[in-house]
A and B are shown apart, each in its own frame.
Chain A
């Protein structure tokens, strides 16, 4: 019943989406630099969270590898952006992440549940120490400088990436792979027995989701000017998308978008005003969201809506 309501309002929501993108596209002409930087930052989190949900939403595999791919993206930009054009660097970052994720996925997606999570957690730490060690031996320095791009370039690159990520996320959900993925999430054995190539589907979608994380990393690198292994392979980058997705709800794609927007803005607000409280709030919201919002803000809104609608309809039925 609800799906029917959604399809009938589909044109309206598509139109709304179009308006939002047009407003975002002309925004740099209307406001000052701070707003553009803030929006770029929020969009970065939208990309990371939606990318995380592409894989983790239907399969329920909790990946903490986001920082690994994000870091690969940062390093790609740091090494190549001085010599290659910016769009090519971003694409290359995506390609590198795809290759790395194919390898990682092929090796690890036999692991289930907490083992998979621990592995992805370990992967980020391994890359952190390995890159730090390689840099120490090869260059003798801790970090690298990145040739920068203007705030507006970064903003538009991020906006295009958001659109691209959302588009791919919708396409995957509607494709055979999307159906296969959610069947894996519900019951992996049954999916495998009904002819789903479980390993191939998981590895492929895992690799696709990592492309966006890497591209986001490459774009952000050109704004940061300086990176080091601690910035690139920061565990918070892995945790944030998980928190934002849980806060928003993973069932519909709008969930991670809303979660990312709310929390990225809240994060910005707290960082500027109450920096000591930032991580504390982050942790507390995570616990509270898991305890009281199992389906996220979007799930809560739907529940309230149903209650309101149900209440309105009840007398008519009698």
Chain B
């Protein structure tokens, strides 16, 4: 009983972060049609900034979310405005745009990673923050706090999507950008904001991850892969799917690593590849 409870708790705590990472990626692909394979690099930048501010200025990692989030948001808007928008204008079809924008994202993967390596070097850093356990199940406090932050971000985002004008415009553009444009939605602006929001989620996830795990400049690709798996699991482009997929992958990861830690990555990829073969649309896919 105790083992099952520990596995489930650890899985849920991990799954929350996975969900946040994947939601950002899903938003970028679902609306802006950019499969941002450099997503993990922006998570890494968020984590490095958080670590850097904590060690140099004793800046609270939870407070640094209000810096990494907006910073990544602005970066995302700029990237969309000056790169992806041009690719979109030049592309003949949506498929061509998806291909080219994904390749551009691969380019950014290298650019961001190497600029970060210039700034922070290639050492691994870590710090301790709220490293105490609570309740009889001895849940690490920092993980619980991270999960709470994810829940708050998800709630805010949900309200934003369902109750604001911009949220409505985003949902319209996700369904059909051409028609959304016809009824007066400034589609490029909406897509740019979606891309920015996706990166903001990556930045926030990075801040949270830096509390839980050690940080280095090559950590990004691993998280990109996790985000891709979660997004495929939940359905490419579906935000609800990203949250469900995140929790599921978190549970699976904690189950596998309970019995055979070295098999976690292999298990991820087996699930991933089986899923692509059996149901590429994912759980919530249309």
Q: Are A111 and B280 in contact (CB under 8 A)?
A: yes
Closest residue of chain A to B115 (Cβ to Cβ) is A280
Q: Which of A108, A118, A239 has the most CB of B within 10 A?
A: A118
A294 adjacent to chain B (CB < 8 Å):
yes
Q: Is the beta-carbon distance between A242 and B95 smaller than 8 angstroms?
A: no
Whether the pair B100, A290 counts as a contact (CB closer than 8 A) is yes
B93 CB, nearest partner CB in chain A, Å: 10
Q: Do A111 and B276 have beta carbons less than 8 Å apart? A: yes
Is A17 part of the binding interface, using a Cβ–Cβ cutoff of 8 Å? Answer: no
Which chain A residues numbered 266 to 318 have a C-beta less than 8 Å away from chain B? 276-277, 279-280, 282-287, 290-291, 294
Is A164 part of the contact surface with B, judged by Cβ < 8 Å? no
Q: Are A122 and B273 in contact (CB under 8 A)?
A: yes
- Please report which residues of chain A, range 229-267, place their CB below 8 angstroms from some CB of chain B when the two chains form the complex: 235, 239, 242-243, 246
A100 CB-CB contact with B under 8 Å = no
Asked if A62 is at the interface of the complex by the 8 Å CB criterion, the answer is yes
Please determine whether A280 and B103 come into contact, CB atoms closer than 8 angstroms: no
Contact B111 A114 (CB under 8 A): no
Task: Tell me the minimal C-beta distance from B114 to chain A in angstroms.
Answer: 4
A118 contacts which chain B residues (CB < 8 A)? 35, 228, 232, 276
Question: How many of chain A's residues touch chain B, expressed as a range?
Answer: 35 or more
- Residue of B29, B262, B273 near A123 (CB, 8 A) is B273
Nearest-CB residue, chain B, relative to A116: B276
Interface residue A117 (Cβ < 8 Å from any Cβ of B): yes
Whether B129 is near chain A, meaning CB under 8 Å from some CB there, is: no
Q: Which of B96, B103, B110, B270 has the most CB of A within 10 A?
A: B110
Q: Report whether A107 and B266 are in contact in the complex, using a CB–CB cutoff of 8 Å.
A: no
Q: Which residues of B contact A (CB under 8 A)?
A: 29, 35, 37, 83, 86-87, 90, 95-96, 98-100, 102-104, 106-115, 117-118, 221, 225, 228-229, 232, 236, 262-263, 265-266, 269-270, 272-273, 276-277, 280
CB<8 Å pairs between A and B, sample of 21: A60-B99, A62-B103, A108-B276, A111-B280, A113-B98, A113-B99, A114-B29, A115-B236, A115-B280, A118-B35, A118-B276, A119-B273, A119-B276, A121-B228, A122-B225, A122-B269, A282-B107, A283-B111, A284-B111, A286-B106, A291-B86
4 further A-B contacts with Cβ under 8 Å, apart from A130-B266, A282-B110, are A113-B95, A114-B29, A115-B280, A286-B110
